[in-house]
Amino acid sequence: HLIGRYLPTVVHELGHAFTAGALGGRPQQITISLNTSGLAYFHPPENWGRVRATLVFIAGYLAPPIAALAAVMAAQAGFPQSWFLFSTGVLAIAIVFLVRNIWGFIWTAAIVAGCYFSVRYLPADLIANSVPVIAGYLSVEGFRDARNQQKIIKWSPGSGCDAECIARYWRLKPVMVGRVHTLLVAVIGGIALKLAIEPYWSEIYQWGEKIVSSRTIERLLP
């Protein structure tokens, strides 16, 4: 977790950067800090408008659960390795064009190198089975980050978090925007988790039954 906890941050900032680029902006750089915070810098065009700006700011927290959902769907369609390679390629592109601070560069380069050697030397089944695990991790951490944003809004008003930026465009309360953010993340991440767990539900149910029955027997024994 000490290493992996930066992954949702990188995906979050890539969500901002890629959405800005897709909507006519110019992504400039991404920084990833040791405290797992991050920033995505981009140059908006003159005719940016609040709709496109809102989409860019909302894309950050939605990026991890959307990536998780894509990973699960790719795995269930029989293409887990393709998703793994695609994700590694995205991180490699981020190193070349976007990540500019030292820690962000070191972490991202280490992950890309680890993925490269994993594809070369680890069994294909192991890589395929790791994709749903990564998806679940992104879903859970994405939800935790969205919840943390709500705490930031409450305890550190004026911090400039994504919800506050959106609220300024539409003259809304940041608290409400933060809640909507969290709800969207929970829904998308929940769908990803459901799809990931569904094929193994019978095994999980049997495992739970065994635990319950064994504890019942322990209580009944003198």
Does the pLDDT value for residue 200 go beyond 90?
Answer: no
Contacts of residue 41, defined as CB under 8 A and 6 or more positions apart, other chains included, come to 27, 28, 29, 30, 31
What CA–CA distance (Å, rounded) separates 74 from 69? 9
Mean predicted confidence (pLDDT) in 90-118: 94
pLDDT at 222: 59
- 97 confidence band (pLDDT: 50, 70, 90): very high
Does the pLDDT value for residue 221 go beyond 60?
Answer: no
**Which pTM does this prediction carry?**
0.91
pLDDT at 80: 92
- 203 confidence band (pLDDT: 50, 70, 90): confident
Q: For a pLDDT cut of 70, what percent of the chain falls above it?
A: 95
Does the pLDDT value for residue 38 go beyond 90?
Answer: yes
For residue 66, CA distances in Å to 163, 172, 184, 189 come to 18, 25, 10, 7
